[in-house]
Every structure is written in C-alpha cells, then in structure tokens.
Amino acid sequence: MALKDIKDRLKAVLEGVAGIGAVHTRMINVKTAEQENVKLVSGGRMHFWTISRGAARLSDENTNQSFQEQTDTIAIHGFYAVKDADESETVFDPIVDAVLSAINTDRRPPMAGGTYLNATVKRASAPQLRSMGHAEVGPSAVLCHHAIIELEVLARELQS
C-alpha cells in the first residue's frame, strides 16, 4: 500500500478518539489568523494533530536479495493549547493515552483484534510516545502542549 493509504488510515483511527480535535495527514502551514481558526482550532481551542513520515529505511529481504523492504517511521504530532484555568495538561494527557491505545489496537494482526491498519501494512510496531513538551504554534504564537508519537510500519517491498 502507499504511504498515503497508511496516513489516511491513521487519520481515521485518530478521528475515532474522543476529544481529538482536527487531524491532518500532512504538516499544516498557516499564515493568517483566519487560516489558523479554520485548520488548527477545534471547539474554540487550538487542538490539532498532524501525521507525517519522519524517516524511511531500506533493507534486503533474506530470501531474495533483489527485493528490499521499506520501513517507514510515521510521526504523529499532537498540539493542545495551554490554559492554566482548565489544567490543560490533565486534559491532554488522557487524549494522548487514548491515541496510543487506538493506534496500538488497530495496528495489530486480525487474530489479535486489529486490522493491520486496515490492511495497509504488513506489520507495524507498537506506537511510542517520543516526547511531551511545549511549542508556540501559528501566527498567534499560541503556547501548546506538544506530543510526538511514532511507529514503524512495513508497507511495501521494492524490487531493485
């Protein structure tokens, strides 16, 4: 399957998580407050997720050296506006945990209750929370909680 299919499946999985906010299958570049409100704000608060490829690795197949496997690292970035009055970190943490759980369930083989990301991959690693921090986002420079979740997927074989 194509990388686009994998990212589309991950978007569908994320959109199934309660309180998820906007989900995009690419990095978003907004230059105006109007674009920011349309693409990055959900429920009156900056809250969005992006799905991108962070790395790729080729390796030879053991049984046929003219074939290589391509393993892609998918990076999922989540942003949630900081607001002390709401104790926003205590709201964002369970959303991050729910995203990890939803991806972990769906990436498994069917015999383990998953779908191999709707049959878009041959295998996928368990998702990992790589970091939690803060970042200023958008033209308004909104301070956001920022989570980075990664997983490796083997989607295709290439013939050389």
Instruction: Give me the residues paired with residue 78 across strands.
Output: 49, 147
Q: How confident is the model at residue 133 (pLDDT cuts 50, 70, 90)?
A: very high
Domain borders along the chain are 3-159
pLDDT tens digits for range 44-62: 999 999 999 999 988 876 6
For the stretch 85-97, pLDDT in tens is 999 999 999 999 9
- Residue 64: pLDDT above 80? no
Here the tokens at position 104 are 């972990």
Class of domain 3-159: alpha beta
pLDDT at 60: 75
On whether the pTM is more than 0.75, the answer is yes
- At 24, is the secondary structure helix, strand, or coil? strand
What average pLDDT does the segment 57-81 reach?
85
Query: Across all residues in the chain, what is the average pLDDT?
Result: 92
Q: What is the token pair recorded at 137? A: 């986002």
